[in-house]
Structure 1
Amino acid sequence: MNFDLTEELAELQLRVRRFVLDEVVPMEGDPRQTPHGPSEELRDELIEKARQSGLLTPHASVEMGGMGLSHVAKAIIFEEAGYSPLGPTALNIHAPDEGNIHLMEIVASEAQKQRWLQPLARGLSRSCFAMTEPAPGAGSDPFMLNTTAVRDGDDYIINGLKWFITGADGAGFAIVMAKTEDGNATMFLTDTDRPGFVVERMMDSMDSCFTGGHCVVRLENLRVPAVDMLGEVGKGFRYAQVRLAPARLTHCMRWLGAARRAHDEACQYARTRESFGKLLGDHQGVGFMLADNEMDMLTTRLSILHCAWVLDQGGRGNVESSMTKVISSEGIWRVIDRCVQVLGGQGVSGESIVERIFRDARGFRIYDGPNEVHRMSLAKKIMVRNDRVGAL
């Protein structure tokens, strides 16, 4: 594995870094940010800035107007975008749209791509992914799926209750996971203005970086034409894996950028703030925290690059993405938490961007599967592998 950047990728990295610093960071204090994420107006403004800079939706295929980035290239660019909480929104690489774009490029029909994917890739619409349900429905265990889809002539009638559906408020369309009559999960595409698709309420959450927030969505006799099925009947969980491994990894990329931003803020403070007769950073306790930050970020970056490389080689990357998700979410949390400590009072107030990063990042150990579930899955695979070795 050689992670030297090509000249082209190094130039793109610098372009994105300058764009984020010059165009995005100055907008972090914009009052159009709400507790439930950037407003639609602010998002549209950021999207237009990226469009004018030729940086919009870089991960999409060239056919869809993107740059067709490899997974390793995405690791470099997404980290740069994540340096600002608004960076992924500006580049149109934020969840859930980023993962939905990846999934639809692989699974959607040509008609579905024309209708839903193209506007999404062009930044003209948003989407959501409706799988998670309140108890006793699907949460960490997707096989507890309760939402049903029953065939009715040329349509399916979908009923169920979803929650924690990111971006649902204002989304133009949704990918809905429902259980069909064969007992298996199937994905459906639906416009959100269809009768029966009801955003009941916005859920309060610690983070505030997702446009459209996190919502409770009720599906009440939602009629979806069979032609709007995404992929084939009964293959929903298989398609979810197509989406989840790369999307899980891109979360890691973006959050690494956020951790680096927090670290830079803490380092700058440590270089300028005096305490007990010397600079804060010259105190061993503070210096050690900054050193530990560098090591955690290096470990995270190498794990991300390794998983990205596996995906670029055609591997499924399920095991690698699970490990990387746990390593990254826990590593970047340690980094950000130390930065709060270095900043002291500023770190727990709106005087510093670090306080916002701290609130946004906590959920990462839960998003895309709680870390405990990933550890459980990895443990099962380890036991099977070791049992096979013993049998030899």
Structure 2
Amino acid sequence: MEYHDSEKAKEVAGRVEAFMDEVVIPREREALATGEEITMDEIHEMWDMAKERDLFAPQVPEEYGGQGLDFSDMLPSFEQVGRSLIGALAIRANAPQEGNMHTLEMVGTEAQKEEWLRPLVQGEIQTAFAMTEPKVGAGSDPKMLQSTAVKDGDEWVINAHKWWTSDGLGADYYLAMVRTDLDAHPYEGTSIIMVPRDADGVEVQRNIPHLGGHGITEREGGHAEVKFDNVRVPVENTLGEEGAGFRIAQMRLGGGRLTHCMRYSGMAERSLDIAKAYLQEREAFGTKLEEKQALRHRIADAETRLHAARTMVRHAARELDRSDARIEVAMSKMFTANVTNETIDLALQCCGGNGIGKDLPIAHFYENVRAFRIVDGADEVHRRSIARWAFEDVDEAEIENTLQFDEDLRIDTLDE
């Protein structure tokens, strides 16, 4: 299909595709066949190769070590990395690091960018976005945020209980969303504060067991449950304006949802390619499976819906350049999450025993994609936003923030 991406976008995506086909996917296949973990040393070697090919961190400005692509131009490359379980990691475009880089780039001071953004881009440090809370805390309704930070001189004193903090096990810093003005509405009284992992009072309690996780890399980012008990950090660790945490997080999420959509579109495309190849080879009941009309029609439906999802995402990306595009992003995210779930499910069904086996990546994709209908905003909350727009009952004085359930759960092409 021709999506009329810019020449720059197509040229870079073509080089990313070649890198996936020549380097990344062959190593992934080997790891799946042997059960041998891909080491971080190997990932670092891939980073070096990506740098040599001018593919490393395509979403980051050149001055910080990336390729400096515009948002719309980088989306086709994100679709290509989604075809591999380790694709995004291989070029340093993996969540949540990608979103955290974007956040630091948007609102960080020059000093903060030098301290955190530059080493983050190069993989010298890792970060995690800590928003979601257990039990009565923030989830689908972010206004229920319980975490607090109180000023004591030139320090914040932070008390919080977070979970589903993606990459939280190996993070050097947490971007913690906490209430800094309890008298204000949470939308106006919440801030994002950088918290070092080694600060007194930070306790990583566990890695939450979860659906998915392919286990072919030694990377142990996990989805952590973390407690902050009277943790003291300098006030200068505040990202952006004090009280602007929700607005900053919303900016982070708008683009992040679309990059997730493209990664999962790539995952669905590869699953469908594997399924079509299998149907062309496999015989049953006297003919090749590709000749069975029921299967042909289901493949046709999947191709059509996947094309529609890709088109919606590109449209939302164009609108995001001009406005917050909340509804366009919500539609794209909800629709793409369901289409990619259905497509990968179909691919697995077409491949039968080979589909549920883990010699192929489809079973890993199947486990990973289910969470996409919950993370970065559950289907139901996106539908709520779309319905409010459809019935014109949105209160413009209080634009609904959609930091929905487990939005910080890392769902990329690794173990998300």
The normalised TM-score by structure 2 is: 0.87
Cα contact 1:49–1:90 (8 A) shared by 2 = no
Are 2:252 and 1:243 equivalent residues in the alignment? yes
Distance 1:147 1:387, change over 3 A: closer
Q: Select the residue among 353, 360, 367 that pairs with 1:352.
A: 360
Secondary structure of residue in 1 paired with 2:157: strand
Query: Which of these residues, 264, 274, 281, is aligned with residue 283 of structure 2?
Result: 274
Contact 2:47 2:90 in 1 (8 A): yes
Kindly state the Cα deviation for residue 293 of structure 1 after the two structures are TM-superposed.
1.5
Instruction: List per-residue Cα deviations over 1:324-370 (Å, max 9, x = no partner).
Output: 00010001111101001100111111122101100111100001110
Instruction: Letter of the 1:240 partner, please give it.
Output: A
* Count of aligned pairs between the two proteins: 384
Q: For residue 335 of structure 1, what is the aligned residue in structure 2?
A: 343
Q: Residue 52 of structure 1: CA displacement? A: 3.4
Q: Is the 8 A contact 1:71 1:311 kept in 2?
A: no
Residue equivalent to 2:299: 290
Distance 1:90 1:47 in 2: 6
Counterpart in the other structure of 2:156: 156
Please state if 1:322 is matched with 2:341: no
Task: Name the counterpart of 1:208.
Answer: 213
For structure 1, the 5+ residue unaligned runs are none
* CA distance in structure 1 between the partners assigned to 2:372 and 2:27 by the alignment: 24
* Contact kept? 1:23, 1:49, Cα under 8 Å: no
For the pair 1:18 / 2:18, whether they are aligned, the reply is yes
| 2-structure distance, mates of 1:290, 1:385 | 39
2:194 aligned to which of 189, 192, 201: 189
% of aligned pairs identical? 36
Shift of 1:22: 1.1
Match of 2:407 in 1: none
Equivalents in 2 of 1:278, 1:196: separation in Å?
65
For the residue of structure 2 that corresponds to 1:384, the secondary structure is: coil
Q: Which residue number in structure 1 is paired with residue 73 of structure 2? A: 73
Q: Which of residues 369, 376, 383 in structure 1 aligns to 2:391?
A: 383
Alpha-carbon deviation of 1:304? Answer: 0.6
Q: How well do the aligned residues superpose, as a CA RMSD in angstroms?
A: 2.2
After TM superposition, the structure 1 = structure 2 runs for residues 137-176 of structure 1, keeping only pairs within 5 Å, are 137-176=137-176
Gaps of 5+ in 2: 397-416
- The amino acid across from 2:133 in the alignment is E
- Paired with 1:47 and 1:387, the residues of 2 have a C-alpha distance of 46
Task: Name the structure 1 match of 2:204.
Answer: 199
**Counterpart mapping for 1:357-372 below 5 A:** 357-372=365-380
Shift in Å, 1:43: 4.0
Alignment-derived partner of residue 409 in structure 2: none
* Letter paired with 1:109: T
**Residue 48 in structure 1 maps to residue 38 in structure 2:** no
User: Quick one: higher RCO (CA 8 Å, sep 6+), 1 or 2?
Assistant: 2
Matches within 5 A, 1:256-275: 256-275=265-284
3-state SS, counterpart of residue 391 of structure 2: helix
Report Cα offsets for 1:362-385 as digits up to 9, x if no partner: 100001110101101221222226
Q: 1:299 aligns with which of 308, 311, 318?
A: 308
Residue pair 2:148, 2:159 contacting (<8 A) in 1 also: yes
Note if 1:92 corresponds to 2:101.
no
